[in-house]
Amino acid sequence: MKAMRAIRAQALTVMRAGALAAAALLPWAATPATAQEWRGWNIHAADYPNGQGLDRFGQLVMQRTNNRIRMRTYHSAQLGQQDEAIQQMRLGSIDFGNFNLSPFNNLAPSTNVVTLPFLFRNVAHLHAAIDGATGEEIAKDLEAIGIIALAWYDGGARSVYATRPIRTPADMRGLKIRVQTSDLWIDLMRALNANPTPLPFGEVFTSLQSGVIDAAENNFPSYESTRHFEVARFYSTTEHSNVPEVLAVSRQRWQRLNEQERTILRDAARESAALQRQLWAERERVSRQRVEAAGVTVIEIADRTPWSSLMEPVYAKYAATPRLAGMVQAIRALP
């Protein structure tokens, strides 16, 4: 009897070990009955730094919740363009995603501050702001519209690219330029006497090709990965905005998590942002090389003062309240 029990116990141990090994190899094998399926939004391809960051976030959360929260990122705008995806996050039909902060400008006032032109001196300055008090203010405004900010991704320096060379602000006159859906962006381009058109990211290529627009503005990685460089051959390093990006979760989902799960998500998000930032710096360099190798003319804007000096009306309008003006001041005062 004793021997039988021992054999059975041994067999069970072996079986359990086998199951554990299988579970380690096949994460879904260990899926608990109450597992949640989360859908994530990404506008970029899976191999873009932001896509890799999102995938890392999902993996870490799955591991650390023992597959209770299973995350899948739908890359390459499979779940729609940015403005619709933001609405879906607010409604809870998309659970997480990485978003540029400009499409929130008309919804969450403090996001305007970090979109403002020529505000950040360099990436370290941006990080000091967004990882500190500035980020906290923005997170409050986003929470109020149903979006929980967990960490901040780099968005790089955005510059103008066009079907003709742009060297001075005078060259911007009458230029039909695509902007993100944001009043600030419209006013920024109007301050340069350009003709701004808000369009979804996914429509920029064909709009450049058909002549609906003459120009757009973005960082080197987006300019390169979307192949916009094939239809707009002149990239001018205006570096007019360093608006960062957010890794966020829908408030609908967040409210149903316990404290332990929230901590897991926050930590995973911070780790994913560290990865994205590291990959980002490298991708900026590589993307620039790729477009130059493809024959793009990169026009270096050595002196940005003629550009920044035209931005007064944008600051006057979008950092008008004491709160927003205070945020600008605090950012400028950062070492």
Residues that bind ligand BDP (CB under 6 A): 43, 82, 99-100, 155, 180, 201, 218-219, 222, 245
Measuring CA to CA, how many Å separate 128 from each of 5, 140, 152, 236, 331?
63, 18, 11, 27, 9
To ligand BDP, the closest distance from the beta carbon of 219 in angstroms equals: 5
Cβ distance to ligand BDP smaller for residue 65 or 102: 102
Q: Which is nearer to ligand BDP, 262 or 277 (CB)?
A: 277
DSSP H helices, 65-163, are 82-91, 111-115, 123-130, 133-144
CB nearer ligand BDP, residue 62 or residue 177: 177
CB of 114 to ligand BDP, least distance (A): 14
102 touches 77 (CB < 8 A)? no
Nearer to ligand BDP, 44 or 264 (CB): 44
Closest approach of Cβ 24 to ligand BDP, in Å? 35
Which residues, in sequence order, are CB contacts of 30 under 8 Å at separation 6+? 23, 66, 67
Residue in the structure block whose two tokens are 């490298």: 282
Amino acid at 200: P
d(CA 293, CA 271): 33
What span, in angstroms and rounded, lies between the C-alpha atoms of 159 and 222? 11
Q: Which is nearer to ligand BDP, 222 or 236 (CB)?
A: 222
Q: Give buried/exposed letters for 307-328 (b at 16+ CB in 10 A, else e).
A: beebbeebbeebbeeeebeebb
- CB 158 to ligand BDP: min, Å: 7
What's the closest the beta carbon of residue 103 comes to ligand BDP, in angstroms? 7
